[in-house]
Amino acid sequence: MLNQSPFQFKNRLFYALIAAGGLVVLMGMYAMHMMEQHGHIVTGMNNQIVWGIPHVFAIFLIVAASGVLNVSSIGSVFNKPAYKARAPLAGLLSIAMLAGGLAVLMLDLGRPDRIIVAATNYNLTSVFAWNVLLYSGMFAAVAVYLWTMMEKRMKPWSKPAGLVVFAWRFILTTGTGLIFAFLVARQAYGSALLPPMFIIISFAWGLAVFHIVQSAIYEWNNKTLDEYVQKRMRNLMGVFVIAALYFVVAYHMTNLYFARQAEFEHFILSSGGIYPILFWVGYGVLGNLLPLLLIYLPGLGSTRHVILASVLIILGGFALLYVLVIGGQAFPLSIFPGFEVNSSFGDGEIGLYQPSILEFLLGLGGVGIAFLITAVGIRVLDFVPHEIQKMQRNSE
């Protein structure tokens, strides 16, 4: 037997997954082609809502890509053996989601043919310019880290490599938060709370994605995750969800206190139509209440419950991003405080946004890319966690 890994994808299942993922990626490429040829007029974006659904997908993927490496960091940097075994898979997921997210981001540019310009002209006061360097460096750092973990001779280097990756992803996710934190003019942004909020949120989302992928691998190989590891990981996810909620609450509480922010908060939390619905139901109930119940209520917390909780956390994450990114743009700029304004350019008006199907196809295409990289990676290389197999499946 050439392949030493105890876990093997069933052949037919693998090819079916690749076909499905490939189809999703193809649809994303169709969307890319339409946007390239006709311009952004084929999307729902306009001069009021300049960043739309593709950005929601891209930011989720990039933030989760950073957060999933927590599993590796807890293993390599904090030396917990259960996590150490999972570190390579987390590394693969990180690269996969980063690639998917960046693909969406770059294809949503007005001029994606000018990537070379972005790679060769840097305005160093711009977080975006820093992100170009940070994201591409992240690929390299994680690749080196994976190498140190999977190559026997390099194992002693895995701790320093893990440390580099740990620091790098903190800087990277801070950079993602700073994109919004640096925007002084918009009432939704310009807050120093955003970088740490993004960091904690990345932990929650990354672990949710990891749970789903890990559970799928075990399920499709008729193995069961060790009860002890299961409990530790799901509790950790619960902690991250609560911590992220804390930041979101702090953000809104502070905003509510400032008189000049009151109208904006009222829009997001109460009168804004889709935004309060997504915030309270999407993020609050689906993204926080239900998952926490599924994780912590005695009698719950089985694998099925954890998978469901993870899916809900991800949905809640998308809802939160939609409210933050799009809701933040829909609320009009306060250019003339104290005046009611009216103009031909939407001053004083709530921005209307109707995402087109192409935007969803592009975003899902990024997810498809991440999926394909993960599936092929697991099949071809030794990413699945090594541990003592349980031959029987626990009855649930």
Partner 1 sequence: MSETNVQRRQFLKSSVGAAAVMIAPGMLLFDMANGKTEAVSSKVRWGMLIDTANCADGCDDCVTACNKENGLSGGLSPTDSQWIRKVELKDKHSGRELSLPMMCQHCENPPCVDVCPTGSSFKRADGIVLVDKHLCIGCRYCMMACPYKARSFVHEPLHDQVPDVPRGKGTVESCTMCVHRVDNGQQPACAEACPNKSILFGNLNDPDSDISRKIRSVASTEIRADLGLNTGIRYQGL
Give the amino acid at 3.
N
CB of 341 to partner 1, least distance (A): 6
Would you say 172 and 141 are in contact if contact means Cβ atoms under 8 Å apart?
A: no
Give the amino acid at 275.
Y
CB of 279 to partner 1, least distance (A): 20
Instruction: CB nearer to partner 1: give 46 or 302.
Output: 46
Residue the block writes with tokens 């189809």:
23
Does position 347 interact with partner 1 (CB under 8 A)? The reply is yes
Task: At 322, give phi and psi (nearest 5°).
Answer: -60, -45
CB of 44 to partner 1, least distance (A): 10
Instruction: CB nearer to partner 1: give 121 or 271.
Output: 121
Kindly write down the DSSP assignment for every residue of 238-282, as one continuous string. Answer: HHHHHHHHHHHHHHHHHHHHSGGGHHHHHIIIIISTHHHHIIIII
79-99 burial, b if ≥16 CB within 10 A, otherwise e? ebebbbbbbbbbbbbbbbbbb
Does position 127 interact with partner 1 (CB under 8 A)? The reply is yes
Instruction: CB nearer to partner 1: give 8 or 126.
Output: 126
Kindly write down the DSSP assignment for every residue of 95-135, as one continuous string. Answer: HHHHHHHHHHHHHTSS-GGGHHHHHH---TT-HHHHHHHHH
175-201 burial, b if ≥16 CB within 10 A, otherwise e? bbbbbbbebeeebbbebeebbbbbbbb
In angstroms, the CA 204 to CA 234 distance is 10
Is 364 exposed, middle or buried, given 0-12, 13-18 or 19+ CB atoms closer than 10 A?
A: buried
Instruction: CB nearer to partner 1: give 61 or 178.
Output: 178
Residue the block writes with tokens 């008006």:
349
The structure tokens listed for 154 are 């390099």
The structure tokens listed for 283 are 């993020």
Judged by CB under 8 A, the chain residues 184 through 203 that form the site for partner 1 are 184-186
Contact track, partner 1, 130-169, x by CB under 8 A: -xx-------------------------------------
Stretch that binds partner 1, among 183-191, 198-206, 270-278, 311-319 (CB under 8 A): 183-191
Judged by CB under 8 A, the chain residues 22 through 61 that form the site for partner 1 are 38-41, 45-48, 50-51
Instruction: CB nearer to partner 1: give 126 or 271.
Output: 126
CB of 267 to partner 1, least distance (A): 17
Stretch that binds partner 1, among 61-69, 123-131, 161-169, 302-310 (CB under 8 A): 123-131
Contact track, partner 1, 208-227, x by CB under 8 A: --------------------
Please select the residue that binds partner 1; options are 259, 298, 340, 395, rule is CB under 8 A: 340
Q: Where on the phi/psi map is residue 222: left (φ > 0), alpha (ψ -120 to 50), or beta?
A: left
Would you say 179 and 275 are in contact if contact means Cβ atoms under 8 Å apart?
A: no
Radius of gyration of the chain measured on its C-alpha atoms: 22
Instruction: CB nearer to partner 1: give 73 or 329.
Output: 329
In angstroms, the CA 11 to CA 375 distance is 12
Please select the residue that binds partner 1; options are 329, 369, 372, 383, rule is CB under 8 A: 329
Instruction: CB nearer to partner 1: give 3 or 354.
Output: 354
Judged by CB under 8 A, the chain residues 235 through 294 that form the site for partner 1 are none
CB of 61 to partner 1, least distance (A): 17
Instruction: CB nearer to partner 1: give 233 or 325.
Output: 325
Instruction: CB nearer to partner 1: give 129 or 193.
Output: 129
180: three-class secondary structure by DSSP: helix
Stretch that binds partner 1, among 65-73, 127-135, 285-293, 295-303 (CB under 8 A): 127-135
Instruction: CB nearer to partner 1: give 204 or 358.
Output: 358
Does position 115 interact with partner 1 (CB under 8 A)? The reply is yes
In angstroms, the CA 274 to CA 283 distance is 12
Residues at the interface with partner 1 (CB under 8 A): 38-41, 45-48, 50-51, 109-112, 114-115, 117-118, 121-123, 125-129, 131-132, 179, 182-186, 329, 333, 335-336, 338-347, 351-352
